[in-house]
Structures are given as structure tokens and as C-alpha cells.
Chain A
Amino acid sequence: MTVIPEFFQWLNNHYGLNFSVFYDAFEWRTFVKGIGYTFLLSALSIVGSVVVGVTGAYMLLSASRAARACVNAYVWAFRNTPPLVQLYFFYFALGPSLTHLVGETTPILGNVGWAVVSLILFAGAYNVEIFRSGIEAVPASTLEAATALGLSRLQTFHKVIFPLAGRISLPALNNNLINLIKTTTNAYAIAVPELLYVSSQIWAQNLNTAEMMIVLLTFYLLVIGLFVKGMHVWEKSIAVPGWGKT
């Protein structure tokens, strides 16, 4: 395993291309930690935003007008304001106020926590719209059949609507989740030590901005490429034969 550090050391000595993360053990550890945080932010906010999306879409089906109005207001507010300002609002304004309100002296959520919350709410608003249009695409006759079988509201949603609408929504959902992974870089602004943040620390120390940028871009393209591939395989594996686009 010493081949890789030696190669990059040699590259630095002979060509001045300083990929310090690949030969400096300390920076490598920082870098890996940054990757860890990027994955953590992505994973938590993907799961959270899908849950928010499904819940919101279910509430839009509900008969209560107030519930529908709430969900619509949430979707409009979060889809039409910049995620960065949302993040600032949560972290700098809402965080301290909430802490004060509960009467705690220590913040109730750290920067990582607020980054996750704000990413979930931002992507969740898009997911509500995505699932809503997926639900609309479920044929009315299928729903009538479910009623004829005597399924309750929740049963219909859980056993008929969700499996079909989920499959219809999947391509749009993929796009939004990719966007979400890209948006995790915003957490840089509140000093969450994710990949962009640790990379900026590394290039501030070594003045190897260009090299670190290349590493960063390669990493993100690789991760997003793998995610797209994975979701595509999943999409294919759960496709209902003979139903929808083939």
C-alpha cells in the first residue's frame, strides 16, 4: 500500500502536482473524516426527506382542508427560498431561539444536526410534490377496485397507492436525491466538517487549490455516478412487468 503515497510524493517532487491527501497520513485522515460526514449528511437527509415526502403526500390525500393547506404552504415556502438562507435561518436564528425557549443553556442541536434538519426540509418539500404527482398518476379504476375489495383508507394507501405511485415517482425522486447530495456542500457555510470544508482547510494549508478541486470534483462525480447506477438497478429490479414504461 506504500505504492500510492510514493507515487503522489514523486508527482509532487517532479511535477509540482501536490495531491497532499494521498501521501500525508494526517491529511488523509481528515479527508476520510470529511467523506464520512458527507455520507452521514447524505444518508440521514435522504431517508428523512423521503419520509417527509411520503407523509406530506399522504396528508394531501386526507380530507382535512387544514392539513392540505399546511402541507401546501410548507411546500411553497421551502421550494421558493434558497436552501443556504434556510440553513442560516435554522442554525443562526431558530436554533438559539428554540434553545432559549426550552430553557437549556447548551444548544439543543449542533451544526451537523441543523444541517440535516434543513436538508431534510428542503428536499422533503420537493419529494412531497414528486410523490403527489406519482399518486395522481395511479389510475382511478385501481382505486375503485381497492374500494370494492373493502380496503380501508390506510390499507389502500399502503397496499395499492404507495407501491404503484412509488414506482412512478422513482425517476423524479432520483433527480431530487442527486440534487440533495450536491446540496450537502452547503453545510460548509456553517462549518460542518464535510468534504468541501475539510478540503478547503487542506488547500488553505498547502496552497494546492487546483489539485484539491480536481480530487473533490472527481469524488462527487464518482459518488453521484454510483448512486445513479444503484438507483437505476433498483428501479429495474422492482419494475412491475407489463406495467408502466418498459
Chain B
Amino acid sequence: MSTTSAIFQWFPTILKGFGFDVLISMLAMGLGTVAGAFLGIGQISVHAWARNICKWITQFFRNAPWLVIIFFCIYLLPFEVQFFGTTIPFPAWIKGVFGLSFPVMGNVSEVVRGGIQSIPSGQWEAADAMGLSRWQTLRLCILPQALKRMTAPWMNTYAILMMATPLVSIVGVEDSVTIATSMLAAMRDPALMMPVYGLVLVLFFLYCAPIALLTKRLEARS
């Protein structure tokens, strides 16, 4: 079979795997963003202990290698959990999502903290003068302004996450890289190596480059 026809035959499968990559990255981003938002707000808490705990958690997950955290989740999370009598299975890809969302949480926490702290302190004082509580100030005055400044770095975090998503293939999740590798193993044709891995690279590029372009434009505007 010629190289082109082999690739045509496998292209839909690889594309499906890439869709799985995108799904995993979005789930991890969602989880990481929610957790990271709380952690980031915790970093500016008025209580020193809460501030310190959140700061340490943030630094821990920002500085630990992604692959090590993914290994951690794959090996140490149970493969199923008993929850009020029902068994919820934990397949490898869900563990992969958790593994990816921890570093995202650390990064988003820093984005949120940076965004909030970039708002001039006059805004806090003005809200204080109007008799708003701390939560009200944060919710009504600070966060709406900070959100705009957080958008670009948040999208950067997503780009970093997307670059790290294929790491789940190392621990056996059926993503585009796993599919490409097993396809190459099945075909046993060294001439296919270059086009197949090249194809995966192109898929990622086509997805990530527009996001990077958009981020750049957002950064330029602010």
C-alpha cells in the first residue's frame, strides 16, 4: 500500500484521537480554572494562614513537572470509587484530565492573583468608602475589571495546556499520539514515520496557532 493511501485510511482515526485531545484539554481547563480561581482569590485573603496555604499550593503545582503529576494521578488515583453504593469507574483518560488540571490550577491561580492585584488600590478604597463588604467589592468592582486583564494570560495557559495534552499518551490514553504510534507499529513502514508524526504536528498547529494569534491581538489591545 502506498504511503498516501495508508494515511488517507488512517486519517479519520487520527482526527478522532485529536478530537479526544481537544476534549481532554477543555475538561482539564474547566476544572483547573474553577479550582484555580478559588486558589487565586485565596492568595489575596486577609487571613495570613489562608494566603500562605494557597500560595504554597500554587507554587507546588506550578513548579512540579506536568508528566510527574500525570503519573501521580494515573498510578495513585483508584480505578473506581464507591459513592453511596454506586460504583463510578475512573478510566485512564479521566485520571489524565485530573492530572492535567492540577498544573492548570496552579497557573490560573497566578493569573487570577495577578489580575486582581493589577487593579489600582484606589478602587478598593472607593468601594470601601461606599460601604461595600470585601466580597461585594471583589464581586461587583474588582473582578469585572480584572477579568478583562486575565483573558490573555488565561488563554496563554490554555495554549500551554494544549501543548501538554499529548503527555497523556505516555500513560495509555487513546489520544492522537497514541493512535499515530500504534498505527505506525501496525504498518511497520519506516517511510510512514515522517508523514504521520508530521500530520499530528500540523493538526496541533492548526488548532493552536489561531488561539495564539487571538491572544497576541488581545494583548496588543489592552
Which A residues lie at the B interface, using CB under 8 A?
76-77, 79-86, 88-89, 92-94, 96-97, 178, 182-186, 188-189, 196, 200, 203, 209-210, 213, 216-217, 220-221, 224-225
Q: Are A213 and B72 in contact (CB under 8 A)?
A: yes
Check A185/B65 contact, CB under 8 A, given A81-B208, A97-B194, A217-B72: yes
Instruction: Determine which of B166, B184, B190, B193 lies in contact with A84 in the assembled complex, contact meaning CB atoms within 8 Å.
Output: B166
What's the dominant secondary structure at chain A's contact region? helix
Q: Are B67 and A82 in contact (CB under 8 A)?
A: no
B63 at interface, CB cutoff 8 A: yes
Residue of B nearest to A187 (CB): B67
A174 nearest CB across to chain B (Å): 12
Across the interface, which residues of A come within 8 angstroms of B68, CB to CB?
185, 196, 213, 216-217, 220
B71 at interface, CB cutoff 8 A: yes
Which B residues lie at the A interface, using CB under 8 A?
60, 63-68, 71-72, 75-76, 159, 162-167, 169-170, 177, 181, 184, 190, 193-194, 196-198, 200-201, 204-205, 208-209, 212
Across the interface, which residues of A come within 8 angstroms of B177, CB to CB?
82, 84-85, 88
B79 nearest CB across to chain A (Å): 14
Alpha-carbon gap, A134 to B64, bound state (A): 27
Check A92/B65 contact, CB under 8 A, given A81-B163, A81-B204: no
Residue of B nearest to A203 (CB): B75
Q: Are B204 and A82 in contact (CB under 8 A)?
A: yes
**What 4 pairs across the A-B complex have the smallest Cβ distances?**
A93-B193, A182-B65, A80-B208, A93-B194
Check A96/B67 contact, CB under 8 A, given A80-B204, A82-B204, A85-B204: no
Residue of B nearest to A80 (CB): B208
